[in-house]
């Protein structure tokens, strides 16, 4: 079955933990300064008269150990006078329950796709614009497409800042290409070229079925290259009757799965081939997934792999996927807003961006130093990481407060297309109707 939408957020954040890689940029120019002021954490290194506690929360449900590995230990080392706490989301400590109990939460974080629904659920949005100005954070050194999308989602307000990024790229298994004498894919291929190449690798050999191409539907559709949102935030209506969705599903899912062996596999497994079929079996020659993928999968070395840029539509050359940054936002109820902003400033500083980029965390900084540092402290430093920046990031779309709920519903209809239970037109029409009902019901509960 398709990866659940919550896991999509989790993969980005856990990916960050595995490389630091759940949760970057292509179109910005060089910045004259780092993303933060020259001394982003200096004030915190002075003794505070009273201890300051900052409480972090996300709805991804990760354990305290994961938070500390990803963020907490690094923040505590920089700010030894601050008490850094994390409240795991589980029964009894969801955000709604924490608010009902009057508990403190200072910083919320998630991927941008789900942050706004999370913050809105408890009305905790806080415009950080004045704090950004106060601390002299250089927003010009942060990927502009990411910032623009955040502002659009916030209705012009800056409710969160990105600290790391994800984009979609195409991995390939050299061994399968070598086995069948097919040339490797390369940066800059179109979807038509890629799917023609895939046909040469859709075959059965000694009882093993091979697939030329597969993708994670949730990730590639949610970050699609046509910049179509699930929900129009102006009208609060779903968009699934937009003809662009037919084109996306046909390209990403239907056309790659036309082969007889592919269809047989889907009929038996009730799903598309996925991550394990790329790394463990291995059967997939080309696989589109998140840029953090190699750093979150322990057995990636089981195959001889590399990566190229995401294939593009011929009429949209050099336009890759939308990005999916991890964002941090200060809550409206926090009594420690200055301290919280100080921590976020540290996370977007050039120092931190370069340090984390070396570990395989895609930076939101547009500086050459941050980008060229990518994966240099990992076993994969010699892979084709230029693929991350070969395309431009597709324009981001405003994220709806109903994003996660609508997305879950939509991917259930995509699953029915995959299994041949519904044609694309029928599935999209029913997805539209279901999403409209979901939004109406959610509005009634407010």
Q: What is the mean pLDDT of residues 307-335?
A: 97
Q: Check pLDDT > 50 for residue 262.
A: yes
Q: Check pLDDT > 80 for residue 43.
A: no
Residue 46: what pLDDT? 46
* Euclidean distance between CA atoms 288 and 291, whole angstroms: 9
Checking phi first, is residue 239 left (phi over 0); if not, alpha (psi -120 to 50) or beta?
alpha
Q: Check pLDDT > 60 for residue 222.
A: yes
* Euclidean distance between CA atoms 174 and 307, whole angstroms: 10
Residue 312: what pLDDT? 98
Q: Check pLDDT > 80 for residue 16.
A: no
Lowest-confidence region among 26-40, 136-150, 303-317, 402-416: 26-40
Residue 409 and residue 240 in contact, taking contact as beta carbons nearer than 8 Å: no
Lowest-confidence region among 30-44, 71-85, 282-296, 342-356: 30-44
Query: Which band of pLDDT confidence, cut at 50, 70 and 90, is reported for residue 10?
Result: very low
Lowest-confidence region among 303-317, 339-353, 411-425: 411-425
Which H or E run contains 265? helix 260-269
On the 0-12 / 13-18 / 19+ scale of CB atoms within 10 A, 211 is buried
Residue 6: what pLDDT? 35
Average pLDDT in the chain? 89
Q: What is the mean pLDDT of residues 234-254?
A: 96
Which residues lie below 8 Å from residue 182, measured CB to CB, with a gap of 6+? 197, 200, 201, 285
Report CA 224 to chain centroid distance, whole Å: 12
pLDDT, tens only, 131-150: 999 999 999 999 999 999 99
Q: Which residue has the higher pLDDT, 36 or 138?
A: 138
Lowest-confidence region among 4-8, 95-99, 198-202, 384-388: 4-8
* Euclidean distance between CA atoms 23 and 8, whole angstroms: 10
Q: What is the mean pLDDT of residues 286-290?
A: 97
Residue 49: what pLDDT? 60
Residue 299: what pLDDT? 85
pLDDT, tens only, 50-98: 789 999 999 998 999 999 999 999 999 999 999 999 999 999 999 999 9
* Euclidean distance between CA atoms 409 and 38, whole angstroms: 46
Q: Check pLDDT > 80 for residue 18.
A: no
Domains of the chain: 53-165+324-383 (3.40.190.10), 168-321+401-445 (3.40.190.10)
Residue 50: what pLDDT? 72
β-pairing, 161-164 with 326-330?
A: antiparallel
Q: Check pLDDT > 50 for residue 4.
A: no
Residue 281: what pLDDT? 94
Q: What is the mean pLDDT of residues 361-376?
A: 96
Q: Check pLDDT > 60 for residue 14.
A: no
Q: Check pLDDT > 60 for residue 404.
A: yes
Residue 320 and residue 309 in contact, taking contact as beta carbons nearer than 8 Å: yes
Query: Which band of pLDDT confidence, cut at 50, 70 and 90, is reported for residue 20?
Result: very low
Q: What is the mean pLDDT of residues 144-157?
A: 94
The DSSP result for 120-154, as a single string, is HHTT-----HHHHHHHT--GGGB-HHHHHHHHHHT
**Residue 380 main-chain phi, psi, to 5 deg:** -110, 25
- Taking CA atoms, 392 is separated from 26, 236, 304, 308, 316, in Å, by 5, 28, 27, 14, 10
Residue 13 and residue 3 in contact, taking contact as beta carbons nearer than 8 Å: no
Q: Check pLDDT > 70 for residue 2.
A: no
């Amino acid at each position: 079955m398709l990866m659940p939408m919550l896991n999509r957020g989790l993969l980005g954040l856990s990916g960050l933990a595995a490389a630091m890689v759940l949760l970057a940029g292509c179109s910005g120019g060089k910045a004259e300064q780092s993303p933060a002021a020259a001394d982003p954490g200096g004030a915190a290194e002075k003794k505070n008269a009273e201890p300051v506690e900052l409480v972090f929360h996300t709805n991804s449900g990760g354990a305290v150990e994961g938070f500390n590995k990803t963020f907490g230990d690094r923040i505590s080392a920089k700010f030894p006078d601050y008490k850094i706490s994390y409240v795991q989301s589980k029964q009894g400590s969801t955000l709604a329950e924490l608010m009902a109990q009057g508990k403190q939460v200072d910083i919320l974080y998630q991927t941008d796709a789900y942050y706004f629904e999370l913050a809105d659920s408890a009305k905790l949005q806080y415009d950080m614009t004045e704090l950004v100005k106060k601390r002299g954070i250089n927003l010009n050194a942060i990927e502009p497409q990411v910032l623009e999308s955040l502002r659009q989602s916030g209705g012009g307000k800056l409710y969160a800042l990105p600290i790391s990024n994800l984009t979609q790229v195409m991995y390939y298994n050299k061994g399968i290409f070598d086995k069948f004498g097919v040339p490797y894919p390369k940066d800059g291929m179109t979807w038509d070229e890629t799917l023609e190449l895939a046909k040469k690798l859709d075959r059965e050999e000694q009882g093993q079925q091979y697939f030329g191409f597969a993708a994670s539907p949730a990730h590639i559709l949610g970050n699609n290259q046509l910049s179509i949102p699930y929900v129009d935030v102006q009208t609060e209506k779903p968009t699934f009757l937009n003809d662009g969705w037919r084109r996306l599903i046909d390209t990403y899912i239907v056309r790659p799965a036309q082969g007889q062996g592919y269809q047989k596999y889907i009929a038996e497994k009730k799903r598309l081939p996925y991550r394990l079929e790329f790394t463990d079996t291995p059967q997939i020659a080309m696989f589109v997934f998140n840029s953090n993928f190699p750093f979150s999968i322990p057995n990636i070395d089981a195959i001889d792999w590399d990566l190229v840029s995401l294939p593009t539509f011929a009429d949209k050359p050099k336009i890759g996927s939308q990005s999916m940054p991890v964002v941090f936002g200060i809550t409206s109820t926090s009594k420690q807003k200055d301290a919280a902003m100080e921590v976020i400033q540290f996370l977007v500083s050039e120092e931190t961006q370069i340090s984390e980029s070396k570990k395989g965390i895609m930076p939101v900084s547009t500086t050459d130093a941050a980008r060229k540092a990518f994966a240099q402290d990992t076993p994969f430093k010699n892979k084709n990481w230029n693929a991350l920046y070969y395309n431009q990031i597709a324009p981001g779309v405003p994220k709806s407060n109903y994003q996660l709920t609508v997305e879950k519903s939509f991917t259930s209809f995509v699953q029915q297309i995959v299994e041949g239970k519904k044609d694309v037109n029928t599935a999209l029409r029913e997805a539209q109707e279901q999403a409209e009902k979901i939004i109406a019901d959610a509005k009634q509960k407010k």
